[in-house]
Structure 1
Amino acid sequence: MGTFTSFRKAYGALKDSTKVGLAKVNSEYKDLDIAIVKATNHVECPPKERHVRKIFSATSVIRPRADVAYCIHALAKRLSKTRNWIVAIKTLIVIHRTLREGDPTFREELLNYSHRGHFLQISNFKDDSSPLAWDCSAWVRTYALFLEERLECFRILKYDIESERLTKSSPTASKAHSRTRLLNCDELLEQLPALQQLLYRLIGCQPEGSAYHNYLVQYALALVLKESFKIYCAINDGIINLVDMFFDMSRHDAVKALDIYKRAGQQAESLADFYDYCKGLELARNFQFPMLRQVTL
């Protein structure tokens, strides 16, 4: 097994160096192609910051949309071609970080691209080269589902939940809220189910088996965990708003609202269990997990 693992590492390094060499000779987007290969190489460590920053720069608002589209195409190709869990998870990390930290143009172009090809839906991905690779492959698939749902949630909400700034509902309010606190009934009944589906995918990102202790999985999981806080706040503020207007709703809307309310209670319990599970990980040392409180009718 040790010899096989060493061979895979050497073969992966050779493939990476070959791709870099080809990009230097053949690519119109040489610097970007090299940055993508190096950021998503076969080395079992998080993408190096200097390569990720080059990708941020290549997808900034000052670049032509064609450049942004090319970057997404190159990442999609990298993801679809690989059978190595390390390359797959690092490609997803690059996509996730660019969504979180990059320019909004990347998210907009990615949404257009995903509607055409759904490249984040990698339900058949597997790396069966070792027990670790098998367990990590399962987590890669759930991570991809979360990112796909994140895009769908943005499509429905028309804003990115992670980049939202909490605001006060009035100048005299003592506490800042998510914008769901101020939505009308129709908007709530559309947006809350989308947020709850996103939270469902997030809670599904629970590493099992050997993946539980893997540093690269934990690095990606930390990005997911950071998003759980704002998603939960948005749902909770929306539920408070929903409860306030519950008795003024039509019967049809009230039935929908009650289903949303029930699911919120169930998800609060599931999220608390997920946090407890994650508190056993090394990454938990850097997190302050919030208290979860359910709104009552």
Structure 2
Amino acid sequence: MTLWIKATGALKDRYSIWVAKLSPSGPCRNPDLEMVIIKATSHDEQCMDYKNVQRVFKWLRTSPLYIKPLLYTLTMRMEKTRSWVVAIKGLMLIHGVFCFDLPAVKNLGRLPFDLSHFSDRHINPKKAWVFNAFVRSYFNYLDQKSTFVRMEAMKETKPGSKEKEESVMEELQSLEKFLDLIDLLLQVKPRNPHMNVVLILEAMDCVMDEILELYGKFCDRVHRVVSRIIDMGGKEEARVGLDVVSKAESQGSKIKTYFNFCRKIGVLNGSECPEILKVDEKDIGELLRIRDEEKMEDKNSDNSKNYVMACEHNKCRTIVTFSDTKELDLKTVITDQWEVFEDDFIDIMNGDAKITSFPMTSTCNPFLDYSLSLVPYVSASNNCVLPDLIIL
């Protein structure tokens, strides 16, 4: 059965090359480049055809205009294939394309093909799921990396981006994205001993190189951002910075475990695990001080708010407001005694002459003082009893 699969794959590759020779040239198609790409992503599962891979890269070095026919041919091949061998070779090829500092590559965004639901149809499904998982996880990382590269390129091309330094919070967001990308990389690994074939190990070599490069950039940026936070301060920046450092420390143990696993299956070829990030304890203490200092200021501002105390004595309720200096700032007295002001002076007329003018004095409720009432006051006891209106 294995010989039959190999023979079928070889026939498919020959047929694809023959079709490429007969295809017309255009802005998105180059027959010569297309044939090289087909050979670089053949069905041969023994190993990657690095000779033709280098020929593809040579085309890109000749002119960046070849990036469009390269992506078109690779997309058409990835969309049609149901072989895990072709899929992994195509991912390794696009992975190498990211090494080129070309605007078309930086502005690519999402990958032009989708292997998130890839499924091999040439081998037993019980054996194929581990290869399918490897292809999907590898594609997921490259897809997210392509998006991240585009976001970084957009920041560089913004007007005034060269003169304006990236804010601390923007750098912290980039560091969080670095952590996410590293987590995706750590998921790319063989999940079965039977997967330890040459092609899988070559793909893992690419993954190892990517981890070393990505983690190195992450560590350099972490130290720079921590220094900026300490210099400028800022509660939110210090809080996010501590979260990033904490996640990086927990991720360091995962990286060690991952490299030990790869060393056991023979991937690293003598490479050592990268030096795990370790932020100076003094810097961590400074971040904690900045964060907690802001909290103490908020707490003190809450304590400095005025509190109201109410007390009663001799039918007089007093509302007193104290400040944080414990001095009496305001005092409001609420009493059942009424104060008569100038507007409340009442002159009683006798003909054309004024008889009496009441001065401002403390008195009882004027609404109960009959001498000041212009309307005769009738006691409620003299009124007749009203009927029960509810019954009516």
TM-score (norm 1): 0.80
Describe the superposition over 1:37-78 as per-residue Cα deviations: whole angstroms up to 9, x where unpaired: 111111003332221122112222x4262x321111111111
Query: Which of 70, 90, 104 is residue 109 of structure 1 equivalent to?
Result: 104
Question: Secondary structure at 1:125's aligned position in 2?
Answer: coil
Q: Which AA in structure 2 matches 1:83? A: R
Larger radius of gyration: 2
Amino acid paired to 1:276: N
SS at match of 2:273: coil
Distance 1:284 1:271 in 2: 13
Q: Which residue of 2 aligns with 1:199?
A: 182
In 1, Cα distance between equivalents of 2:9 and 2:205: 26
Which amino acid in structure 2 is aligned with residue 153 of structure 1? F
CA distance in 2 between counterparts of 1:64 and 1:244 reads 39
| Cα RMSD for the two superposed structures | 2.3
Shift of 1:200: 1.2
Query: Does the C-alpha gap of structure 1 residues 64 and 287 become closer, same or farther in structure 2, counting only changes over 3 Å?
Result: closer
Q: 2:248 aligns with which of 250, 254, 264?
A: 264
Alpha-carbon offset, residue 272 of structure 1: 1.2
Partner of 1:80: 79
CA distance in 1, matches of 2:107, 2:269: 37
Relative CO higher for 1 or 2, CA cutoff 8 Å, sep ≥ 6?
1
Q: 1:232 corresponds to which residue? A: 215
Distance change in 2, residues 1:237/1:283 (3 Å)? same
Q: Greater helix percent: which structure?
A: 1
Q: Is the 1:33–1:74 Cα contact (8 Å) retained in structure 2? A: yes
Percent identical among aligned pairs is 25
Match status 1:23 vs 2:7 = no
Structure 2 equivalent of residue 140 of structure 1:
135
Structure 2 counterpart of 1:39? 40
Amino acid at match of 1:269: S
Query: What amino acid does structure 1 have at the position aligned with 2:73?
Result: A
Partner of 1:8: 5
Equivalent residue, structure 2, for 1:171: none
Please list every run of 5 or more consecutive structure 1 residues that lacks an aligned counterpart in the other structure: 160-181
Deviations 1:117-160 (A, max 9, x none): x435421101152344331121011111111122223223339x
Q: By percentage of residues, which structure has more strand? A: 2
- CA separation in 1, counterparts of 2:22 and 2:218? 50
1:153 is paired with a residue of what secondary structure? Answer: helix
- Do the aligned partners of residues 32 and 155 (structure 1) sit closer, same or farther apart at CA in structure 2, a change above 3 Å counting? same
Aligned residues: 264
Q: Which amino acid aligns with 2:175?
A: L
**Mapped contact 2:168–2:225 kept (Cα < 8 A):** yes
Q: Which ranges of structure 2 fall in alignment gaps of 5 or more residues? A: 155-164, 285-392
* Secondary structure at the counterpart of residue 264 of structure 2: coil
Structure 2 length as normaliser, TM-score?
Answer: 0.62
**Contact 2:75–2:112 under 8 Å retained in 1:** yes
